[in-house]
A and B are shown apart, each in its own frame.
Chain A
């Protein structure tokens, strides 16, 4: 396996099942070894070192030096789509779909913000081989975040294939 994508869903359920069936420890170890992982929405929650507003006892895989607030916008009627400036990806803006989405509430020194809403709320981050977005590029025809992640996979694979 040269990369892993953790898509949207319910983070509390992902956490519970990943721990019950012994997946969590493996993923944690591979993240520590430098496996490229892209998490969207719930996937970003799973990559956060700290989860805010989780359910009782909720854990994450960790790896991103951030605190992510779960379901930060409120009920489903607050879910929205919007255009988002992502300097790293240039023009045009990324059309982003936020569904009961989390946000990066605290950005640690090792993580880097890639995009923020007009009010400054960070909604996309990276740290080495890890990438996290509050929104779902998989729900649109937007492929630039996927390419950005594949570049990380290519870099990582090139590095690990060296003798």
Chain B
């Protein structure tokens, strides 16, 4: 790698590096500056600024788009932790706008209505880093090939049902484990089957992990949900509707942070789970008709 002496912004290392700094943490969806403040006070490592949490997008329907710049700027002004914002899949102009607004990370997200059913955003073109969702290893590697600097395994956002998140983090990790067991000459077909670039497949087979940080998202509603995701191998969690759709957001947010840190200490998880009030009501993913399942968006 050539390293010249003039300062360089937007490098791969700098983009992936911010995600490294978020490891072990909780990223929370917020829709107002007040919620962002609560999240920061509770110990969030970053916030996701959006107009509607997934549970509301789900219940209200319609086309979900990038949030109002005024809202994003107000949230950036309110907190000092990193602020992420969502662009529609394939909507590179929304991404350009978010970069111009100085967000710290863009989530090219299936929670919003896709803008392009064929192509994702060419993320190498941007200085700001991107996080993208994935249900399996092939999808994760395709996103990384397009320049994603962080992956989040998809769950079924806005349901409070963690089963899809569990399925996808398990799938990704199982597929990684399988790659590490293959011999070198089997990786060509593995790349074909995963529909992923051969070089990335070789890299994962050699290192036994993704080349970027892997968080999990979608349906995480309790401290125990968050801890389970970390025990299953996630580097951290996104909590969307789970916090601000619950009875006591400040307490639940702080509890999820503590449980994520002490993910392997059931005594701590038990302690922080007490007296949190009502969790978000929740919808069983099995009751969501297939056309309304967000995790199936993206390819």
Chain A interfacial positions (CB closer than 8 Å to B): 8-10, 12-13, 16-17, 20-21, 41-42, 53-56, 70-71, 74-83, 93, 95, 97-100, 136, 139-140
Write out the residue numbers on chain B whose beta carbons fall within 8 Å of the beta carbon of A76: 14, 18, 82, 103-105, 128-129
Given A100-B18, A136-B17, answer yes or no on A9-B45 (Cβ-Cβ < 8 Å). Answer: yes
Interface centre among A20, A75, A76 (most CB of B within 10 A): A76
Give B254-274 as 1s and 0s: 1 = Cβ < 8 Å from A's Cβ atoms: 000110011000000000000
Q: What are 12 A-B contacts defined by CB distance under 8 Å?
A: A10-B25, A10-B45, A10-B46, A13-B25, A17-B258, A17-B261, A42-B21, A55-B80, A77-B10, A82-B7, A83-B4, A140-B13
Q: Point out the residue from A16, A77, A81, A83 that lies within 8 Å of B127, measured CB to CB.
A: A77
> Quick check: B3 and A13 within 8 Å, CB to CB?
no
> Quick check: A71 and B80 within 8 Å, CB to CB?
yes
> Quick check: B7 and A80 within 8 Å, CB to CB?
yes
Interface size (B, Cβ < 8 Å)?
42
Write out the residue numbers on chain B whose beta carbons fall within 8 Å of the beta carbon of A10: 21-22, 25, 45-46, 81
Given A10-B22, A76-B104, A77-B99, answer yes or no on A99-B17 (Cβ-Cβ < 8 Å). Answer: yes
> Quick check: B14 and A75 within 8 Å, CB to CB?
no
Q: Point out the residue from B6, B41, B102 that lies within 8 Å of A77, measured CB to CB.
A: B102
Q: How far is the CA of A93 from the CA of B11 in the complex (A)?
A: 19
Write out the residue numbers on chain B whose beta carbons fall within 8 Å of the beta carbon of A8: 20-21
Q: Point out the residue from B21, B40, B102 that lies within 8 Å of A12, measured CB to CB.
A: B40
Closest A residue by C-beta to B103: A75
Write out the residue numbers on chain A whose beta carbons fall within 8 Å of the beta carbon of B3: 81, 83, 95
Write out the residue numbers on chain B whose beta carbons fall within 8 Å of the beta carbon of A83: 3-5
B9 at the A/B interface (Cβ < 8 Å)?
A: yes
Interface centre among B4, B11, B99, B104 (most CB of A within 10 A): B104
